[in-house]
Chain A
């Protein structure tokens, strides 16, 4: 379907060919999404915001077809992105709930947060807190971070070699190993010995896993499987290819089911 001179494949969530209404275009994501797997103008659930601009509405192809605009076109700002995408920042948000050990240099009695109690803080005694708090305290120079016990050069080398040997995914030391590595190494690299080596090792492991994921996603699509089991995959890895994969599968499904003109296929009628 050609819209505005740009070829947009299967724009919108259209199960039939002729839809009079079109879903409002989502805002283009401004965040840098490293490895977020968002490719170009993929249709389906999230059409890219098209440059209709101005009053280009009038360029409707068919006389009786008109574009439906959401109210958001008229000054209220662009519509928010469609739901089924998790930004890497949100995966990091979830990872920040993990507990990590710190050694405070202040003292405070117990804090009763809505999400749980945090133990009394005494200078020099290690205490467990969620990562979001640990990072914040570290930035205010009120504590020292202790790296989790898996963040150690030998262990990570073992994990990396194990990952390279196996064909399937091996269990990772933490379901949020990538986010934790990034956060801790960014904000607390002085508390972590051999930070650079650790960064390289984690990146190697990540690359191996993503390569395996790509291969298995490829074979999944090729053999048109209906179900896949993905234990031992962490959230960040799933997010990296997840959006693209699910949208691609949806498109293929639509193409496949529209091959047979069944009772559900409407022609251009009202």
Chain B
């Protein structure tokens, strides 16, 4: 359940509660509020980045993480502008800002590549999503995907389709653009222990069997079986 993310004492990057424990479930009206230190925020950004990089399909969008990271970066930039030319401190902070910015932009770029690659399927999934489920596209990404689709259709029409015989002037992008291959193999590291994960057989002679995933172990397995675990954060793709 995705609720609001609240950062502990975000001013000046000062982690007043540096030792603060991670999460408090504050259920009011069914939404949980997660309290994260900035360090945990950066770590969850990196986790989201790695997961997005290695997953064959577009994963859920994480608007809270992105907003909080951007807020932290802006904050830090503003502080640096005001700070005096204490050369070393300023450059250290700046280096860190660059590093975080790299992860953030790589994450967003990865998502855009996937949107461009699978645009009809992404839009279809978004259309047929149930009310309470989390969205896989942020509002800006959704606008981008729609525009991309419209541009592609217009381009195909103007370049080729209108010169075709009239009964062949339709193309179904949903059928012609390849779907994400959910059967691809991925490497993963287990963060929370899982039991009884079904492993499907490759050949007809083998039978399916179940395995347990120990915490901290690494595996190579098909993406389809563990897709819900990635979404819930129980495993990390590497």
Within 8 A of A (CB), among B196-230: 199-203, 206, 211, 216-222
Q: Given A132-B99, A226-B221, answer yes or no on A250-B206 (Cβ-Cβ < 8 Å).
A: no
**B181: contacting residue among A13, A24, A111, A227, CB under 8 A:** A13
- In whole angstroms, what is the CA distance A21 to B159 when docked? 14
Q: When A15-B178, A20-B176, A225-B202 are in contact, do A136 and B95 touch as well, CB less than 8 Å?
A: yes
Measured CA separation A19–B171 after assembly (Å)? 11
| Beta-carbon nearest neighbor of B179 in chain A | A15
Assess whether A113 is in contact with B92, with CB atoms less than 8 Å apart.
Answer: yes
**Shortest distance from the beta carbon of A156 to any chain B beta carbon, whole Å:** 23
Q: Which residue of B lies closest to A26 (CB)?
A: B113
Kindly provide the distance from the CB of A183 to the nearest chain B CB, expressed in whole angstroms.
15
Contact of B185 among A70, A132, A246 (CB under 8 A): A246
How many B residues, CB 8 Å from partner?
A: 70
**Among B95, B109, B152, contact of A80 (Cβ-Cβ < 8 Å):** B109
Q: Contact at A229–B181, with CB atoms within 8 Å?
A: no
Alpha-carbon distance between A20 and B177 when the two chains are bound, in angstroms: 7
**Given contacts A66-B160, A229-B219, A250 and B99 within 8 Å (CB-CB):** no
Closest to A57 in B: B159
Is A194 located at the chain interface by the 8 A CB criterion?
no
Among B53, B151, B183, B222, the residue within 8 A (CB) of A83 is: B53
- Indicate the member of A79, A86, A112 with the most B CB atoms within 10 Å: A112
A41 to chain B, nearest CB (A): 18
How far apart are the CA atoms of A116 and B42 in the complex, in Å? 10
Residues of B within 8 A of A249 (CB): 184-185
- Taking a contact as CB atoms under 8 Å apart, the answer to whether B222 and A114 are in contact is no
**A186-224 interface code vs B (CB 8 A; 1 in, 0 out):** 000000000000000000000000000000000010001
Shortest Cβ gap from A133 to chain B (Å) = 6
Inter-chain CA distance A111–B83, complex, in Å, is: 13
Q: Is the CB of A112 within 8 A of B15?
A: yes
Residues of A within 8 A of B220 (CB): 220, 227-228, 230, 245-246
Answer whether residue A145 sits at the interface, using C-beta atoms and an 8 A cutoff.
Answer: no
Interface hits, B64-105 → A, CB 8 Å = 72-73, 76, 88-89, 92-93, 95-97, 99-100, 102
A127 at the B interface (CB under 8 A) = no
Q: Is B173 an interface residue (CB 8 A)?
A: yes
CA distance A136 to B171 in the complex (A): 55
Per-residue contact bits, chain A 29-66, to B (CB 8 Å; 1 contact, 0 not): 00000000000000001000000000000000000101
Q: Which of B140-175 contact A (CB under 8 A)?
A: 151-152, 156, 159-160, 164, 168, 170-173, 175
CA distance A23 to B14 in the complex (A): 45
Tell me if B14 and A112 are in contact (CB < 8 A). Answer: yes
Contact of B156 with A68 in the complex, beta carbons under 8 Å: yes
| With known contacts A224-B202, A230-B218, A116–B39 Cβ distance under 8 A | yes
- Taking the closest CB of chain B, its distance from the CB of A179, in whole angstroms, is 14
Q: Do the beta carbons of B53 and A227 come within 8 Å of each other?
A: no
A262: Cβ under 8 A from any B Cβ: no
B38: contacting residue among A23, A114, A245, A246, CB under 8 A: A114
Which of B12, B93, B113 is the most central at the interface, judged by chain A CB atoms within 10 Å of its CB?
Answer: B113
Residues of A within 8 A of B56 (CB): 45, 84
In the assembled complex, B6 has its CB within 8 A of some CB on chain A? no
- Tell me whether B116 is interfacial, beta carbon within 8 Å: yes
A20 and B171 contact, CB distance less than 8 A: yes
**Further contacts, 7 of them, CB under 8 A, given A21-B177, A64-B168, A238-B187:** A13-B180, A19-B177, A112-B15, A113-B96, A118-B92, A133-B92, A226-B201
Some 20 contacts from A to B, beta carbons below 8 A apart, are A13-B181, A15-B181, A20-B171, A45-B184, A79-B116, A83-B52, A83-B54, A93-B102, A112-B12, A114-B72, A114-B97, A116-B39, A224-B206, A226-B200, A226-B222, A227-B211, A238-B187, A238-B218, A270-B168, A270-B175
